[in-house]
Amino acid sequence: MGKVSIIMPVYNTAEFIDKSVQSLIRQTYTDLEIILINDGSNESCTRKLTEIAAMDNRIKLYHLQGNKGTGAARNVGMDRATGDFIYFFDSDDYLPEKTIEILMRHIKHHDLIRGKMKTTYFGSGMAIILDGLFKVKMHTEEKYHLFKNESVLNCLFRTEFVQRHQLRFMEDARIYSDLSFIVMALMNTQQVPYVKEAVYFKRKRNDAISNPSLDQSAAAEKVENYIHVYTHLKKQVADDVYATDEADQEWVMSEKAQANHFLDRHFLNFYRKTIVTYFKDEANVEPLFERLSDAFQLLDRDILQDYSWILKNEAKPLLMRNKSKYVSVNRRHKEMRQFKQALKTKKKFYIYLYQRFFVKRKTNEKLVFFESFLGKNYSDSPKYIYEYMLKKHPDYTFVWSFNEKKQILGNAKQVIRFSLRYFYYLAKAKYWVSNSRLPRYLNKPDGNIFLQTWHGTPLKHLVFDMDDVHSADPKYKAHFYEQSRRWDYLSSPNRYSSDIFRRAFKYDGDMLEFGYPRNDILYQKNTTEDIQQLKEKMGLPHDKKVILYAPTWRDDEFYSRGKYKFTLQMDLHRMQEELGRDYIIVLRMHYFIASVLDISEFEGFAYDFSSYDDIAELYLVSDMLITDYSSVFFDYANLKRPIMFFMYDLEKYRDQLRGFYIDVENEVPGPIVRTTEEIVASVKNLPEIAQAYQEKYDTFYERFCKWDDGNAAAKTVEAVFK
Ligand code: C2G
């Protein structure tokens, strides 16, 4: 049937490339050559490529001098190709094993054939083997429809066809060079068959910040690139004269008309989707206006009839080259679009008011806005900062955001999260104090100071240290980056955390290295009297010892976005039987957990404190802690009381879900247990265990708890509220 040359430009995709190349090697169609073009990748990726090239003798590796761009790399690949067919592949994608076979089987006499593209965030266990029904749908009139995504991927080209028409990629357009190849190919062929069973998986990257894909390039670059490609291609299509006799002339005209139509529609769609969004910031119009009007001059004016009056209105000043008119039309339309959005829900309307009006007013220099765990609790460092300010800085006014009204100390105003007052006070407050991110749409008021206290010493990899995100929101990294740019101060509990925060959050602002305000209480109220009082408030018996069980959440167990499941793996019957005489157990689920515990049959032994505000008070009343991968143990260690690690899923959690910063098996200050039996045995052996772990505990305390001394809130407040 013939050899297929797979051409694959590579630029810094070391983390994905193994899987990609493996998927090519495993193709059931074996007459292949795999041409890797190293487009100026970094050292680690280049090393990886050399290793990969040795894996299979069908792989050929070429290096370019510096980064020349996908178009140039593919052109070099074509120059080196010796196959009868050409197939482009990207170095972070994945091909099911039959794809090439299916395409080869159906290309028959055609110049090219197209398969199906699927774009996904690759999950952990992706293995797709499609047998294929081998049904072919022929496209004639609508060949351009197959290329609405302007991509050459998953398309098999006959080499002879490519050479006869000298098909090349534009080299001076980093992002949209595919369009140049596609349009010229389509103009020169009549029918393009499409096989939907030949699937290609395109990876949607989740780290648009450190390692963006081409598609995630900066908007400015995308827009400039696109205009350049469109302008170039319109001219190329017009100039391409290659027919002589009259019948041919007619055919050429019709091909040209189709190509023009495709380009114009593509251009207007790009204008609507990308350029309009980019022009939301008016400052972006000026540097591009001239080039954009040049491009509009090339449009077939009739096509505008198919578009809305909004687009027609914007096209007019562009065609007339009237910049000031364009800016004002654009502004009016933007306002209209925003208003239309705002009318969709109550919350959207409030956000509109926030962005449009509230945030533009002067802030109140003496107003502080607090939130902890997304409004769920009155707790954590924001609580202790607030309580310190109540005492020492009564000249400030305070606002707390909660999901529901609460009994709290002092005279703070309370606002319900996402209510109109919430938005109003956020915009009015000069200071924001929160232990997690605030929503992305809350742009900072002028002069606003955001004190991010964060919520724990990290054990599990954070944001940019995470390889892949398996949780419910795949845009997590990009969003996190945007939100954390708004922080002015970040609290750090220990040196270890400072180092991680700088790297994993890409944070280079002020770091407050005073320990955690939330742990002050562990030094100030660790007395028998205070503990008795707390137990009374909580309704806990005084004659029993207290085990606190506070596990974290699992990235892969959720009902929906942000609503996580938790299944208790501890046998409470057995625990009660063995330990019930001397102990009670306080269960405390993570604030992401939406499952409700049913522990009614364990009355008098098990207590659910999942919705209790402040976990620090639970630390104080407990005699020992059982946890897993939660940061709670870093704080609890301040009390120097026994800790046990119920890590029944250690391997999965560490190796598949997150990855850890410390060597858990060797460094945690207590035993790792995996069954209820082991928990019971350890609780019964506490003195021996304490002795066995004394040294580790001391080292651990030295490393993670040394900064905490009961004065973190005071130091934090004095540093921020100067
Ligand atoms: N927490 C709690 N109850 C639990 C677990 C956690 O009240 N059962 C609180 C603790 O204050 C803890 C904080 O939530 O320190 C963070 O919880 P983690 O389990 O560590 O998980 P996560 O929210 O993913 O934060 O740098 C820290 C990491 O970001 C972890």
Residue 571: CB atoms within 10 Å: 15
Are residues 191 and 110 in contact, defined by beta-carbon separation less than 8 angstroms? yes
Atom number of ligand 1 nearest to Cα 592: 23
Give the per-residue pLDDT at 140. 59
Are 21 and 140 in a shared domain? yes
Phi, psi of 195 (to 5 degrees): -115, 115
The residues, any chain, with a CB within 8 Å of residue 101's CB and separated by 6 or more, are 27, 28, 29
Give yes or no for a contact between 493 and 707, defined as CB atoms under 8 angstroms apart: yes
Residues 422, 401, single domain; the answer is: yes
- Establish whether residue 615 lines the binding site of ligand 1, counting it when its CB lies within 6 angstroms of any ligand atom: yes
Cβ atoms of residues 507 and 490 within 8 Å: yes
Site to substitute for ligand 1 among 632, 646, 653, 660, most atoms within 8 A of C-beta: 632
- Asked whether the beta carbons of 478 and 208 are under 8 A apart, the reply is yes
∠714-720-722 over CA atoms, to 5°? 95
CA-wise closest residue to 161 among 141, 140, 191: 191
Dist. CA 46 → ligand 1 center (Å): 39
**Of 153, 179, 214, at which residue does a domain stop?**
214
Which single residue is written with the structure tokens 């990899």? Answer: 461
Atom of ligand 1 at shortest range from CA of 629? 19
- The verdict on the CB of residue 589 being under 6 Å from ligand 1 is yes
pLDDT at 305: 94
Q: Which of 187, 227, 201, 178 is nearest to 75 (CA)?
A: 178
The pLDDT averaged over each successive group of 10 residues in the chain (722 residues) is: 96 91 96 97 95 96 95 97 98 93 93 89 47 56 82 97 96 92 92 89 78 76 94 90 66 89 96 94 94 96 93 96 96 93 96 96 97 97 98 97 96 97 98 97 96 97 77 75 97 98 97 98 97 97 97 86 88 97 97 88 96 97 98 98 97 84 96 97 95 97 98 98 89
The DSSP code for 604 is T
The reported pLDDT for the residue numbered 123 is 52
245 shares its domain with 153: no
Residue 210: HSE in the Cβ half-sphere, 13 Å Cα cutoff: 17
Residue 236 and residue 280 in one domain: yes
Q: Does the CA dihedral 339-340-343-349 come out positive or negative?
A: negative
Handedness of CA 102, 104, 109, 112 (dihedral sign): positive
Residues 379 and 426 occupy one common structural domain: yes
Total domains, the chain: 4
Query: Which of 214, 244, 274 is the last residue before a domain boundary?
Result: 214
183 lies in some domain: yes
Q: Is the CB of 631 under 6 A from ligand 1?
A: yes
CATH number of the domain that residue 661 is part of: 3.40.50.12580
* Strands across the sheet containing 59-63: 59-63, 32-38, 4-10, 85-88, 155-158, 112-120, 192-203, 137-139
Q: Does the residue 15 lie in any domain?
A: yes
Closest to 579 measured CA to CA, from 511, 484, 460, 680: 680
Measured in degrees and rounded to the nearest 5, phi and psi for residue 510 equal -70, 130
| Any ligand 1 atom below 6 A from CB of 383 | no
DSSP class per residue in 415-429? EETTSHHHHHHHHHE
348 within domain boundaries: no
Q: Does 453 fall in a domain?
A: yes
Same domain membership, residue 204 and residue 65: yes
Rounded to 10°, the helix 380-392/712-720 angle is 70
DSSP of 155-222, one letter per residue? EEEEHHHHHHTT----SS-SSSHHHHHHHHHHHT-S-EEEEEEEEEEEEPPS-TTTS--GGGS-HHHH
Using a 6 Å cutoff on CB, does residue 670 contact ligand 1?
A: no
Atom of ligand 1 nearest to the CA of 458: 26
Of 518, 551, 577, the residue that ends a domain is 518
Inter-helix orientation angle 177-187/246-270, to 10°: 150
Alpha helices in 467-621 (DSSP H): 476-484, 495-504, 520-524, 528-538, 572-579, 615-621
- For the record, the structure tokens of 630 come out as 């939660």
Task: Please indicate, yes or no, whether residues 513 and 525 belong to a single structural domain of this protein.
Answer: no
Same structural domain for residues 203 and 245? no
Chain-centroid distance of CA 434 in Å reads 21
Q: Give 426's contacts (C-beta < 8 A, 6+ positions apart).
A: 354, 358, 369, 401, 432, 438, 442
ipTM of the complex: 0.98
pLDDT of residue 722: 82
> Is residue 112 located within the same domain as residue 52?
yes
Check the CA dihedral 713-719-720-722 and report its sign.
positive
**What atom in ligand 1 is closest to the CA of residue 589?**
8
Contacts with 27 (C-beta within 8 Å, 6 or more apart), sequence order: 95, 97, 98, 99, 100, 101
Cβ 259 under 6 angstroms from ligand 1: no
Report the alpha-carbon distance of residue 286 to residue 138 in Å, rounded: 46
End-to-end Cα distance, the chain: 77
Residues 445 and 528 in one domain: no
Structural domain of residue 309, as residue ranges?
A: 229-342
User: Which DSSP letter does residue 593 get?
Assistant: B
How many angstroms does the Cα of residue 310 sit away from the middle of ligand 1?
49
The DSSP call for residue 553 is -
The dihedral over CA atoms of 494, 499, 505, 506, expressed in degrees to the nearest 10, equals 140
CB of 261 within 6 A of ligand 1: the answer is no
Taking the CA of residue 634 as reference, the ligand 1 atom at the shortest distance is 15
